[in-house]
Structure formats: structure tokens, C-alpha cells
Amino acid sequence: ALRHLLHHCDDETVNRVLHASRSLAQTLATERHYIHGENMQYDPRFLVFEYIFDIILRKRQVEMVESFVDSIRTGKSNVQQMIMGAGKTT
């Protein structure tokens, strides 16, 4: 259907639009680990962080941040470590 809409464009333009649309669809369909419950409640700061740094937070990263926040609320200290090579940068 998209090719039909772009019938007047050259192949390079069509391919760029198709690639961009697939990328957008994949990004929108990616699971966000900071959205909880049937009400889909979330802290918007996670979404802003992802947008600003052009990343998708992994489940373990969200868990660590939520653990730090819980520690602050209860007045406890908290130290955590992420192991090198655990896929933090991909």
C-alpha cells in the first residue's frame, strides 16, 4: 500500500521511506519495561530519558532505577553493579 502512495518517487526515496516506516513500527512495538499494570501507569521521566538519549531501556536498567527510588523513599542506601558484557550498550 505504501509503494502505491509513493508510485511517483524514485526507488531510493521509496526504500528510505520503507526503512523509516519499518523502524518506526519496530520502535513503537518495543516493550517498555517501565509501564506497569492494566492501567499502563508509568513514570514519564523514563520515556523522556529514552527520547533524549535515543535508547530503549532494558528491563534490568529499569529495575535498578526503581530499586534506587525505593531506597530513597525508605531512607536506605543502595549500591548495585551491572556486569560488563551483559548487553548494556546494545
pTM above 0.75, yes or no: no
Least confident of 10-14, 51-55, 83-87: 83-87
Question: What is the model's pLDDT at position 86?
Answer: 61
The pLDDT value given to residue 20 = 92
Please give the C-alpha separations between residue 24 and each of 4, 7, 20, 37, 57, in angstroms, as whole numbers: 19, 21, 6, 25, 17
Q: Say what the pLDDT of residue 78 is.
A: 86
Cell matching residue 60 = 534490568
Higher pLDDT among residues 87 and 60, named by residue: 60
DSSP symbols for 9-72: S-HHHHHHHHHHHHHHHHHHHSPPTT-BTTTTB--HHHHHHHHHHT----HHHHHHHHHHHHHH
